[in-house]
Structures are given as C-alpha cells and as structure tokens.
Structure 1
Amino acid sequence: MPNTARYAAYAAFRQRRSEVLARIFFIVCVSLFVIVSFAQHQARADSAGLVRLADVESGALLLNSTEPGKYVPAPLLATDVQIDVTGPLARARVTQHFINPGDGWVEGKYVFPLPENAAVDTLKMVIGTRVIEGQIKEKQEARQIYEEARADGRRASLVEQQRPNVFTNSVANIGPRETIVVQIEYQQTVRQDGDAFSLRFPMVVAPRYVPKSATPQLVDFKPGEGGWGEILPPREPLDLEQPPVLHPDMGQINPVSLAISIDAGFALGTVESAHHEISLTRDGTRKATLTLAGELTPANKDFELVWKPAAASAPAAALFRERVGDEDYILVMLTPPAGSTVPAAKPREVILVIDNSGSMSGPSMDQAKKSLLWALDRLKPADTFNVIRFDDTTTVLFPQAVPAHGENLDVARRYVGNLEANGGTEMLPALRASLVDPDAGDSSRLRQVVFLTDGAIYNERELFTEITSNLGRSRIFTVGIGSAPNSYFMARAAEAGRGTFTHIGSETQVAERMSVLFEKLQNPVMTDIAASWPGGRNTQSWPNPVPDLYKGEPIVLSARMPKAEGTLTLKGQLAGAPWEIRLPLDAGETRPGIGKLWARRKIEQLEADARIEGDWQKHDGDILKTALDHHLVSRLTSLVAVDVTPVRPDGEKLTTRDMPVNLPDGWDYEKVFGAEAMPAAQRAAFKASAAPMLAMAAMPASADASSGGLALPQTSTDAATLIHGGLLAFMLAGLLVALRWLHQHWNGGASARRYR
C-alpha cells in the first residue's frame, strides 16, 4: 500500500478511536451525574438524620420517626458548671454544649433546673471565636425575636422560665455534626442552718404528675352554620414543658462536670458532699476548691455541698452592699443567739403526711417511711397525731388526731411499714385533709403538718392557694425526699405555711435531719420580728413583714435605698424575751450582684402576694419592670441571643427535638409511666451502645470564646454514602480497564498494519 493511502487509513482509524472514546466518556459522565444526583437526593431525603438500629455502632439516643424502622438521632447535651462561693454569696456559670450528632439541621430544646432562688441574669452564645451576648426582653417579644431568627436560618438561643426553678433553653439551627456552646450565669445566696452552710445544684427536672381534672373545652359557633357548633378538642396548659425521659436501660446521658471554689471568710472545718464523691484541695484555712472525683457524672440527681466552720460556731452576722446607678443595695444575714432560756414546749397535734405515689418508688419510699417512723418515735405522750397517705387516692388513718400512746403508735407503725409506692400524685386532696382542723380555736396546742414528698407535681399554684386560704393555726413543714425533689414547691409551701423546708437525699441523712427538724418543731425561736431601716419611704426591703424563725435559721434581708448610711434596727421576741440589735449600714463590704439579689427577692415577694390574693395580674407591671431593670429572667421576661448571619441553606429542613433527660436516680420507670414507652427490643439494642456517652463528652474545664467544643459522638455508619462511593469506584475502574483495552487493541492493530 502506498504511504499516502496508509497514512489516510491510519488517520481515519485515529478519528474513529477518538469518537468511540468520546462516547464512552460521555456515558460514564452521565452515569456519574446520575449516581451523584441520586446520592444528593437521598441525603436530602434523609436530612432528618434517619437511621436504622442496625446502623448504630456507637453511643446514640434515637427518637421515633414517622417512617417505620427508622429513627432520628436526638441532640445531645454536655454541661460544665463553675460555682464561686464568697461568704454567703454564690456566683455560678453553667455552660451547655448542644451537640447535633445527625446529618440534618436541628433545633434543640432542653428543660433544666436551677436553684429556686437563682437570679439568672446572663446568657452568652459562643460560635467559634465569637461571643454573642443575650438581651433581656419581655417574654413574648423575646419569643418572637427567636422564632424569626429560627425561620431565617440564623443561630439563636432563648432562655425562658417555666417555674422559678425550671427553665428551658432553645437553640436553633445547629448544623450537621455541630456543637453550639451556650453559657448561663446566675447569683444566689447559700443556705445557713445553725453552723452548717450549704448549696444545691439541681441536675434533672423530675417528671411531674398532672392531676386528673377536667380540661375545659370550647364550643366554636361559626357564622352561617345554622346555629350548629363544634366542640373543640381540649388544650392542655403549656406553662410547664415536660421533656421526654430516657429509660434507664438505655444508659445515662447529659454528662456534667462541676467545679466549686469556696472563700468562706472564716476558718473552714468539714467540707462534704452527701451524694457525689469529690476531690478537695484546701488553700490555707479559709479557702478550698473541689471537683467531682469522677470528673463527669450523669445529670440524674442533685449535687449538695455542706461546709462548717472550724470553730465551735459560725459568724453571727454578714453585711454586703453594692452601688448601682444612684442607689445602694444592701444584703443582711443575721443569726440570732439561741437564748439563755427556752419557754416550755406546748403539746402538739402533729399530722404526718406521706407520699406513696409511683414517683416515690425505690429508695425514696424507704427514706420517707424511715423518716415517718422516726417522727412517730419522737412524739410525747401529751401530743396527738394522725397519719395521711396519698397516691391517686387519699387515706386518713384515724378519724381524728389521737393521743400518742403505745397502742395508737403501734397501729401507725404497722400501717406505715406496709405502704408501697404506686399510682399517681394527687396531692391536693391530702393537703386539704391535713388542714381540716376541728379544734381551730385551741391555742394550748401547736398544730403542725409534716409533709414527706418529692413534690413531683404540676399544679403547684392550686396547692399554694389551698395553703394560703385554709392554713389557720396550722404550720406546714415540708420534707423533700429523694435525689431530685421539687425544691421550688417544697420551699414555697413551707414559706406559705409559716414552717421550714428540710431535704433528705439518702437514708444516712434521716436521723440527723429529722432530729434537726424536730428541734424546730418544738417552738419558733424568734417571733414578732420587725426591721426599722433608715431612709423611711425611700427604702424598699424584702421580705416584708419578716417571718418567724426557727432554731438555727438566719434573718436574711435585702434593701434598696439612696445611700447606705445610718443604722438598721431589728427587734423581736427571742425565746419569749425581748430582743434588739443594731447594725451600721456603712460598715458593709462591697460585693457585685447584691442589686440582682434584691430584685430577685422583690419578685419572689410580689409573686407570694399574688398567690395569697389570688390575683396574678395585680403585680405584673411591677414584676416586669423590676426584671427588665435588673436584666433578670422571670415569669414575664426571657433572655435571647441571636446571630446576624444565616447559616442554614435555603431549602434545608429544620427539625425540632426536645432533648431527653435521665430518670432521677432511684426512681422506677414503670411505676412512674406505667406501660413501657419504648419497646424492650429497642432498649436492649442500645443498652451497650448508649453507655459510653459519658466518656464521649470530653468537655473542657471551661467554655470561653476560644473553646474548641466537644468531640462529637458518631451515630451510625453512612451506608448510603459508602454504597455510592463503591459504585463510583467500580465505574472508574471499569473506565480505566476499557481505556487500557482500547489503547492496546488499537495501538496493536495499527502497529501490525504499519509493518504488514
């Protein structure tokens, strides 16, 4: 063949080869596009983070979805707590790490407790190296700001008060596998009882029993319907949100690290934690720091710390002040002496009320029964008594109070010993029964109601109304039982009932704390207390009037005045004899946060007045102004922090998830919730995988703007992505093989033809 013809044939061959290769390349590209598009579509379809049980390979908490056999990874939480105690004051910073372990965009809502006397004043949202400060707003306005940011795809946080000791933190637009850090700060006073100082940090909101009462329904009459109306379904009240509770078989979540520094102002003696092991380091005689011995603990029971002075008795007085604007704020704590003479104790009518509902099952019931039996053993022959027990029913042991002699006491002991925890917590009928007083005019006998309960109720307002309306000569002493009692209800019920609140968190505390309580039951140590402040009407002080006090309890007063000068005079009856003391107000030490504590006490007083008067709107204007002026979260105000830049892409769905909490330590899930809320097979599948969640939360000691966040737990293997990746690799390998074959075939054929 001539060279010209040979070259023409070879050129035609190269052109055909190029056309074939181009077609193969086009087919491969189209295939790749289809696979990638399918993968993206599948990712969008699973944007809610749906996984199957078989996909879970590490700690995860799954919530049911509408698609059978698939679940949604729940947002997780880790908390870091730092509390600084200075004298009788405590400043706390609670850092919450909201973790989204899934592949979709979520809004997490967490219900959490704080001390009932906490003045919550600070909210910070940490995003990378930026810190966004929260602003105090009227509750509805704050909610609107948050919802607009949520809809716009901006990160936002909203802290709202449900009760004075129950708050919610909503965090919107947490991206896939992202952590958002939110800090909350509050101020409080520590509790003093005799020579013991203590503080509690609650860690879990216990499930609340909603009483069986008819929920009002409305009838809707629409124009043009000929007079026919429709009965609308009942709407449950939403003033207290109840989070989903994790079954104990699924392990523990919501890990907490905690560190406390104490500068007591006096030589420290013992420093003890009753319910958690601690690691304690002393710094001289007056200071100490401590952390949890295990570094992390699940949020399933309250932390309690008690410290005592090294000397025989604690300091008797404390005086602090703060200048804010044009006014001074004062905090006074004064422990009166016990008195050289004690009046003869009057005989008593003691009504012992015990909660044996399902939430008391386990250690709580054992503690309550042991406490009640201890109380029966301390009654004197001149006393009378009765026992009332309640769950979703109420039983009064005797028709009326009976003498505390052997036979009656034996009957009561056997009755209490046979009690078992079960059923709901219908507390109102039991409270009403305890306040029935056939001898209301009998002044020769003290009438005392001792209420042993965990306070796990929803309808606190009804109970407060009952106490203020029908207290009469009775005095109510509440004993909080268990690992996570409703301290708000217990403290306020005792306050309204003119008694005291005692907490028993373990059986080892029964004898000691019931003994202290019964010393208080004998007689009030101080009565008829009056405070005379300088400044006249320009001074506002709380509480007003000052309540009676029992042995070991300090007088705690707060006041606002133009200038802290002059003398505060306190008068009263101490052990039946006149008592008076004077405190120079200009001698107080300056401390930050005194103004916020005054505002918190004022709000408490106004809320108490509303309970007594039955008019919750009468004082709302004053409560709102006080909360806004002092930047405090209240029933009427909230803290909101919003980022300015949208982060959630358009079209990406936002899923709202209520973040689950642990069941309080010692509670029985089935006794509280009845039938299982989660199938046993699903619980078993997670029993081994959910346990490592505490270890996964490698929390920093603090979370400032430079915090790197937490290591995120992996919830599942991404099976769909792996399959798609495998298909892509397979097709690319096939393409390379085809190209190699074509190259060898055509090059070999061309060479053979050239040398033919």
Structure 2
Amino acid sequence: MMANCCGLLTYQKKPVPLKSVEVKLEVRGHVAKVVSTLSYENEEDKPIEADFVFPLPGDAAVCHFSAKTGQTEIVAEVKEKQEAREEYDDALSYGYQAYLLEESEPSADVFSLCVGSLPPGESASIRLEYVTELAVQADDGLKFCLPAVLHPRYQPLGSEGSSLQVTSVPASLVPYNLSFSARLSSPRPVSKVESNCPLDHLQYLNTKQTRATVNLAEGYKFDRDVELLIYYKDAHRPTAVVEAGQASAKPGTLMGDPVVMLSLYPGFPQPEMSSVSSCGEFVFLLDRSDSMKNCIGSAKDTLLLLLKSLPMGCYFNIYSFGWSYEHMFPKSVEYSEETIEEALKIVKEMCTDQGGTNILGALQHIYSQSYIPNQPRQLFVFTDGDVWNIKEVLDLVKKNSGSHRCFSFGFGQGASSAFINGLAKEGGGHAQFITENDMMQPKVMQSLRFALQTAVMDISVNWNLPKGVSVTVLSPPITKLIQGQRSLVYAQLTGQSSETAAGCGTVKYRLAGHRFRNQQHFSLKPAEDTG
C-alpha cells in the first residue's frame, strides 16, 4: 500500500505546509453552502510545481474557485476540459501563474487542482465554494461532514483507482488550527446541533428559533473529519424555501429568477403500510478487498445484524468480492434456522483476502440469476467504495434498477460518497455511512425497514401557480419514495406575482395498486436570506 495525501502536494507527492484553514458553512433547510479558505506556503529555496487534491461530497456542485499568490488573484472560469488543459499548458510555458481545477477521473468525489509554479517563500491562498445536500440520518438529523485534508488516502501499489481509506493524524502533529462557523436557517425551528468535535453554544438569531449560529470551539486541532448533526423540530413535515434571484442577473435566466426547493415527506396511508412485505430475496454483497482491512470488522457486524433481523420465509444469499467473487449458495435459499446458522458461521470467518476491488463481475453474476416469484429482490452492498470503474458499475445498477432495489453501506471515514450514494440513487434504495464511532443498529434497521416497504410506482410532481408564473423543474425526476425519507425537488419560477401569491406542488404516486397524492402549499415571496 502507498500513501496518497490530500492537500497541496508537489509533483513528487510531498506536502506543501498548510498554514491555516477557515470554513464558513451556511445551511438552508436540507442544503449546505460551504466556503473554505486554505493557506499554504512554499518554505523551500526554489520554486515548486504543485497539485491541490481535495475530497468533496459526491453530489457537490462547485460554484466558486479562486487562488491568490502574492498580489495576484485568479478566479476560475468553467471551460470544456481539453480547452482548459491547453490554456493551462500555454500559460505555464510563458512563465505565468496558472491553476487548473478538474474532477478526478477515477472518483467523482475527489477534485484536483494544478497550481503550477509557486516561488520560494510565496504563499498560496485557495478559496473554494460548493453546495451540497445533507443526508438524513436514522434519527432524522441532517449530517454535514468536513473532510480533514491532511488525512492520507491509500491505494494498492500499481492501482489506477482512486483510493479512499483514511487514517487519522495525531492532533499533536497538526501544525495549524481550524476556524469553523455555521449559520443555519429553516422553515422549521432548529432544535439542536451536535458534533464529534467541541462546539460553542448554539445561538438563536430570532424568537422563532428558525435561524441560528454555532462555532467550533477555539483552538480545535483539525486531526479528524468534522461532523455536524443538525436537528429540526417537526422534521417529517414538508417544507418549501423560495430563494430570490441575483439582482445583477437578467430576469428569465436561471440566476435571475427565484428558485423553490420543496422538501417532501410523503405520508403513506396506514392500511397500505400495514401490509408491509415480510417476504423478499435479500442478496448481500461484501467487499473483501485489501482496502477494507481496517473496516472489515464493522462491515461483518453490519451484515450479521441484518442476517439476524430478516423475516422468516424470505430468501437470501451472500456474495463477497475482491479481484474475483464467491457466493455462499449456488442460488438464494429460504431463510430457516439451518441456513441462517450456516451463513452466520461462514461470515464470522471472512477476512480481507481477496486482493483488489472488482465489484462489476459479482454484480453481473447476481443480475444473471433468475428471480424468485413473489419475492422482490433487495441488494445490500457493503464497501468502502474504493472502486476504479465507478461509472461502469453505476450504469449496470441503473440498467437493472427495474428488477431490484439497491441499499448501500459505506465504511470508514474515507468511504466514497460518490459511489455509495450513487448505488442507492441508481438502484432506488438508500445509502448509509458507518464509521467506527457511529451507532450501527439504528442505521441497519432503518435500511431493512425501507427494504421491506412496498415499492412506490408511477411518481409524478405537478404544479399549481398563479397566472403569469411558470415553472421549470431543475432536479431529476423522483424515482423512489420511501416512508420516513425526504425527497427534494428544485424548480425555477419565471414571471411576476404579488408578494401575497402562493403556489402548490403535488406529488402523485401508486402504492399497492391504489393512487395517492401529497400536497405542499408555499408562499412565492422569497426568504429573507439570499445565497
């Protein structure tokens, strides 16, 4: 194994000293905007050429990037990849400062920046802004994670894949402090904020407690990922946030028009929910590659708990993979005392002895197996996401999404959010992330509860708006609805309306052969905050 650090690195992979980190977090409802400023200094007596490598959530959208060296500041423009690379090479050949920011080919949650030549004694200040949705946890908290950029990420020697196993850095070895502040606003009151790191007291900015601020305690050493859990009162009630367009942008454009975010929690009718399935074919797929060495125990514990919690009469099978794959039974077997006892014994003896990560072959074999009548297939994947062919794997899951649901579990602090979330998104299931400090049981039982729910079909969203106002939906179509899980819909609102005007979004769907609808009314007046 070899270390592959994040942060500012020379072309020889030697870290450039990091002097300070400042992060400002703005949370609105279920979405977060993150503004990070990182300062580095070349302490060598000669110029260095460096890359800036940093991990992001897989679904993050970078909305601003700038780099400042001495008195020169460069603000990034979005360009076609090849054109950007050619301009970057030309600038370097003329001796100019140049920066190239691009998404890593192997993994969509790692971005890299070519900083170019940094003179001796010169500082580089990098400012990055991105927007991301916050994942809902089993206890209804919204989780934000700030990755510690000094953590090394690992990959097998000779592997072309991006590596994602993270090890912790002792606080005594971290030569800088982190300045971190969060500003929260929501239609629902903020009830509390928790963290794995010391926080100052939560301060409310209004009497309704819908706006608040919280800071990381001064002097905290950034020696591990910073996790923030945000809790709202009445978390399961649907909400809507309307944000005003930018005053400098032209009306009728995306940036000039207001945008609405609907947060939907469908309340399924009780009679249909009481007929929750007690059957199904449960296929478990365990990553036994080398990169799982530090978290195979947690993955096995998760699998064992799921196996013990399955309903009698269902069917199951267990696959594991590394360079190749193995299956416990030639085909799925009925869940009984005998079969589960045999499975538990074999799982307890499993270890990371399978080499690299080739999940594609295992999935292809699983999808080639015939389906059991009246036993809906549910696929559970346990991995750290250290996969070199992410797009090919996700395309395969999407191609087979009509015949199964995929529930994914990511293990370790460096688990690939792009891959873990992608499996659940393309497979119509749910993603969970489990680190060594997480309480595993509620997450496992939540995913199993989701898997036992009857699949919702024919989902559509309709809009009822005042005359003169039109809507353009910006988010992909909703492909799944699960009881207790929120769905977000974004839409651009074009046209003029009065400040007292209101709109309505309606979600229609079919469950257990019956048609249902959920409505959410909202004011067209934009929120006070802009972002």
- Secondary structure of 1:377's counterpart equals helix
Deviations 1:548-568 (A, max 9, x none): 211222121112343376543
Q: Structure 1 residue aligned with 2:341, among 397, 410, 413?
A: 410
Question: Who is 1:171 aligned against?
Answer: 115
Residues 1:270 and 1:537: Cα distance change in structure 2 (over 3 Å): closer
Aligned to 1:141: 83
- What are the residue-to-residue correspondences of 1:552-567 with 2, within 5 Å? 552-563=484-495, 566-567=503-504
Q: CA distance change for structure 1 residues 252 and 488 in 2, over 3 Å: closer, same or farther?
A: farther
- Deviation string 1:368-402 (CA, Å, 9 cap, x unpaired) is 01000000110111111111111223110011111
Partner of 2:250: 325
Separation of aligned partners in 1, 2:175 and 2:102: 20
Residues 1:295 and 2:220 aligned together: yes
Structure 1's 242 and 446: CA in aligned 2 closer, same or farther, altered over 3 A? closer
Could you say if the C-alpha distance between residues 534 and 305 of structure 1 is closer, same or farther in structure 2, counting changes exceeding 3 Å? same
1:31-110 equivalences in 2 (<5 Å): 74-77=15-18, 79-110=21-52
Unmatched runs of 5 consecutive residues or more in structure 2:
1-7, 498-502
Separation of aligned partners in 1, 2:493 and 2:111:
31
- Distance in 2 separating the partners of 1:584 and 1:173: 54
- The residue aligned with 2:227 is 304
The alpha carbon displacement at 1:357 in A equals: 1.2
**Cα 1:377–1:325 shift into 2, 3 Å:** same
| Aligned-pair CA distance for 1:537 | 13
**Structure 2 partner of 1:603:** none
TM-score (norm 2): 0.83
- Aligned partner of 2:65: which letter? L
User: 2: CA distance between counterparts of 1:593 and 1:493?
Assistant: 33
CA distance in 1, matches of 2:375, 2:175: 50
- The answer for the alignment partner of 1:467 in structure 2 is 397
Partner of 1:479: 409
Q: Which has the higher contact order (CA 8 A, sep 6+)?
A: 1
1:538: Cα distance to partner?
6.9
SS in 2 for 1:412: helix
Give, in whole Å, the separation in 2 of the partners of 1:202 and 1:169.
17
Q: Is residue 259 of structure 2 the alignment partner of residue 334 of structure 1?
A: no
**Take 2:202 and 2:512, find their aligned partners in 1: how far apart are those partners?**
39
1:159 aligned residue: 101
Structure 1 residue 512 corresponds to structure 2 residue 428: no
User: 1:401-440 to 2 correspondence within 5 Å?
Assistant: 401-422=332-353, 423-439=355-371
Contact 2:22–2:38 under 8 Å retained in 1: yes
Deviations 1:62-99 (A, max 9, x none): 9998xxxxxx9652345432212233232111222233
2:293 alignment partner in structure 1? 361
Pairs within 5 Å for 1:641-660: none
Larger gyration radius, structure 1 or structure 2: 1
- Between the aligned residues of both structures, percent identity stands at 24
For residue 365 of structure 2, give the secondary structure of its aligned residue in structure 1: helix
More strand, by proportion: 2
* C-alpha deviation, 1:139, in angstroms: 2.1
**8 Å Cα contact 1:280-1:288 kept in structure 2:** no
Partner amino acid, structure 1, of 2:433: H
**How far apart, CA to CA, are the structure 2 residues paired with 1:564 and 1:549?**
33
Distance (whole Å) between structure 1 residues aligned to residue 430 and residue 165 of structure 2 = 32
CA contact (8 A) 1:331 1:557 kept: yes
**Where does 1:218-257 land on structure 2 (aligned, <5 Å)?**
257=178
Alignment of 1:555-634 (within 5 A): 555-563=487-495, 566-573=503-510, 577-584=514-521, 586-587=523-524, 589-590=526-527
**Root mean square deviation, CA, Å:** 3.5
Question: Which residue of 1 is the match for residue 309 of structure 2?
Answer: 378
User: Normalized per residue, which structure has more helix?
Assistant: 1
* 1:136-158 residue CA offsets vs partner (Å, 9 max, x unmatched): 22222322332222222222222
Residue 195 of structure 1 and its aligned partner are, at CA, apart by: 3.1
CA distance in 2, matches of 1:526, 1:428: 28
Distance 1:138 1:538, change over 3 A: farther
Which segment is superposed worse, 109-118 or 283-292?
Answer: 283-292
Aligned AA (2:413) = S
Change over 3 Å in CA distance of 1:402–1:141 after alignment to 2: same
CA 1:174–1:62 in structure 2 vs 1: closer, same or farther (change >3 Å)? Answer: closer
Return the match for 1:196 from 141, 156, 159: 141
Structure 2 CA distance for aligned equivalents of residues 514 and 435 of structure 1: 24
8 Å CA contact 1:454, 1:484 repeated in 2: yes
Q: Structure 1-normalised TM-score? A: 0.59
Deviations 1:391-424 (A, max 9, x none): 2231100111111111111111111111112321
CA gap of 1:133–1:591, structure 2 versus 1, over 3 A, is farther
Q: Return the match for 1:272 from 194, 199, 203.
A: 194
Aligned to 1:541: 473
Distance 1:419 1:593, change over 3 A: farther
Q: CA deviation at 1:527?
A: 3.7
Q: CA deviation at 1:314?
A: 4.6
1:259 corresponds to: 180
Tell me if structure 1 keeps the 8 A contact 2:165–2:414.
Answer: no
Using the TM superposition, give the Cα deviation of residue 203 of structure 1 relative to its aligned residue in structure 2, in angstroms. 3.9
Which deviates more, 562-571 or 347-356?
562-571
Listed one character per residue, the Cα deviations across residues 140-195 of structure 1 (whole Å, up to 9, x for unaligned) are 23223322222222222221122442211221221113221011111223233573
Q: Does 1:447 align with 2:389?
A: no
Matched-pair contact (CA < 8 Å) for 1:262–1:288: yes
Q: Is the 8 A contact 2:153 2:167 kept in 1?
A: no
- Number of aligned residue pairs: give it: 494
CA-to-aligned-CA distance 1:435-454 (integer Å, 9 cap, x gap) = 233126x2x22210100101
Amino acid at match of 2:92: R
Alpha-carbon distance in 2 for matches of 1:164, 1:73: 23
Where does structure 1 lack aligned partners over 5 or more consecutive residues?
1-60, 66-71, 213-235, 595-756
Amino acid at match of 1:416: V
Question: Do the aligned partners of residues 241 and 545 (structure 1) sit closer, same or farther apart at CA in structure 2, a change above 3 Å counting?
Answer: closer
**Letter in structure 2 aligned against 1:199:** F
Q: Distance in 1 between matches of 2:469 and 2:185?
A: 35
> How far did residue 585 of structure 1 move?
5.7
Asked if structure 2 preserves the Cα contact closer than 8 Å seen for 1:393 and 1:426, the reply is yes
Cα displacement (A) at 1:476: 0.9
